[in-house]
A and B are shown apart, each in its own frame.
Chain A
């Protein structure tokens, strides 16, 4: 009788649910539980090590809004996020349009543009450090070779410059992904649309604006969302090129969090930053997603 019961259970679909239990355990232990715990830690004055901690309520969140360093950091994070997204999409689409033409060697160029995606951003950051280094850096060398009375610039000494240099490095490295998604999108557009357009006498830019772009909207949505999330949480390249310095001048929220946790040993503040970043990324990506989805329907 009992045997029969189990045999029956085994044949019913719900028995299969046991197959996702291991995955659920992973999510609960390593994502859900820390997420909830992080909210608690953000209400504490705690150095991250000791057994003693003190409940300080919303203090850490109040600090966020009065801390000038955090203000700089948020501004940088937006430049990293929005800047990389714009650049990767505009240049990525341009590359895709070019490398989708009937050109010899285009596959090789695609391969080369995609190559940096394989390389750790830390290593990529160091390679670019050879360019923007003050003493004997490749960029300074090149400019002084071209113009005789050029005074070498310490590119990474200024936060404002570093932020854009890092955005550029990040863009160049991950452009390949956007490009490949756009190439796939372009190849998915039926030739008939273009034939119909050329019969109607449409040319060049108007074809691009009225046919290519609207039909490419799904690829644009994917790329924009992927890039904005990637850019807003940027960490590796910054650590490699400037470690967020000087001070917090080129810091993103991620790198400041690292500093606050390990150097300033203010775990509550770091956790508050993490939660702030989570809210920020979630809200921005949901708004963008809804907006782009609406556009997809309209066009």
Chain B
């Protein structure tokens, strides 16, 4: 009996979580002329909305921008983050502890609270609507968490590794490069996912810093598209569906990595 109630509850949860996608699919596959309720599935799938959304929201360009921005941010965060974490984790001098505290305190600064001066900085350096102008601030705000995770992970590796390599005549830089770096793969996977998802889905920075249509990311492109064609609800739905496809598909295939990455990334406090 108890089990039965549990299964019913599980079923209800599933329904609640799937209904939004059911509605989205219905709206996305119906022609604009079909005014039947969103609850009614389309008589036959209509693909015109996708073509309209793809062209009008300039999604091809937006996808490309998303890929470029996300790839660059992830790559730089991984390189700079792992490098920074090594001395901070291995040589806990007074100075390094202060530096570490400074890095960690950057985690708690919500980017929104300093957006006005940050925006001013980007404008003054003529960085609006350029790749660098969005990539650099992203890196700065994703780095603290990466350093936090790397520092913790390196701390859990045995110090004897370093000492053995040092006795063998390795320079300290070579130790990082040859001994530590290869061991960082698992935590790097976690960091790639949480930085990647954060940057891919970002709206806050993108809507401030990217104002030229050719520079729009998926989120900004869709929001402009939505305000322009708010009556063409079917087009918007098709655009939303296209926009969420890449990450949801990846998630389906690499679930445990995504859950691990995003949960680790959420534990910021």
State the A residues within 8 Å of B (CB): 10-17, 19-20, 22-24, 26-27, 29-35, 37-38, 41, 48, 95, 98-99, 101, 103, 105-106, 108-109, 111-124, 126-128, 130-131, 133, 136-138, 141-142, 145, 172, 177, 180-181, 184, 221-222, 225-226, 229, 233, 235-236, 239-240, 254, 257-258, 261, 267, 270-271, 274-275, 277-278, 281-282, 285, 289
Contacts and interface: CB of A to CB of B under 8 A. Distances in A.
A26 B116 contact: no
Contact of A26 (B95, B136, B171): B136
Given A20-B88, A114-B259, A229-B110, A120 B95 contact: no
A91 B183 CA distance: 38
A34 B209 CA distance: 15
B203 A235 contact: yes
16 contacts: A11-B172, A19-B87, A22-B80, A23-B143, A26-B136, A29-B121, A29-B136, A30-B136, A31-B141, A103-B10, A114-B259, A130-B38, A138-B38, A177-B263, A239-B223, A258-B207
Contact of A121 (B27, B116, B139, B201): B201
Given A130-B237, A181-B266, A118 B258 contact: yes
- Chain A: interface secondary structure? helix
List 3 tightest A-B contacts by C-beta distance, closest first: A30-B140, A225-B269, A120-B201
Contact of A138 (B39, B90, B247): B39
Contacts of B106: 27, 31-32
Contacts of B139: 26, 30
Interface string B80-91: 110110111011
Using C-beta atoms within 8 Å of the partner chain, give the interface range for chain B. Answer: 35 or more
Interface of B: 3, 6-7, 9-10, 13-14, 16-18, 20-21, 23-24, 27, 35, 37-39, 80-81, 83-84, 86-88, 90-91, 93, 95-96, 99, 102-103, 106, 108-110, 112-121, 136-137, 139-141, 143-144, 147, 171-173, 176, 197, 200-201, 203-204, 207, 218-219, 222-223, 226, 233, 236-237, 240, 243-244, 247-248, 250-251, 255, 258-259, 262-263, 266-269
B269 A229 contact: yes
A35 B248 contact: no
Contact of B87 (A13, A48, A133, A278): A13
A233 B117 contact: no
Nearest to A116: B17
Contacts of A111: 255
Contacts of B243: 120, 123
A122 B203 contact: yes
A10 B147 contact: no
Contact of B17 (A22, A48, A113, A239): A113
A130 B108 CA distance: 34
Given A23-B103, A112-B18, A233-B113, 8 more contacts: A20-B84, A23-B143, A122-B223, A123-B222, A141-B39, A184-B263, A226-B269, A235-B204
Nearest to A124: B20
A17 to B, nearest CB: 5
Nearest to A37: B117
A250 to B, nearest CB: 17
Nearest to B2: A101
A119 B118 contact: no
B117 A16 contact: no
Contacts of B37: 136, 138, 141, 145
B93 A236 contact: no
Given A20-B83, A109-B14, A235-B204, A285 B117 contact: no
A111 B141 CA distance: 28
Contacts of A184: 263
B140 A10 contact: no
Nearest to A49: B123
Contacts of B120: 34, 37, 41, 48, 267
Contacts of A12: 172
B83 A277 contact: no
A120 B143 CA distance: 21
A98 B9 contact: yes
B130 to A, nearest CB: 15
Nearest to A234: B112
Given A180-B259, A282-B108, A10 B172 contact: yes
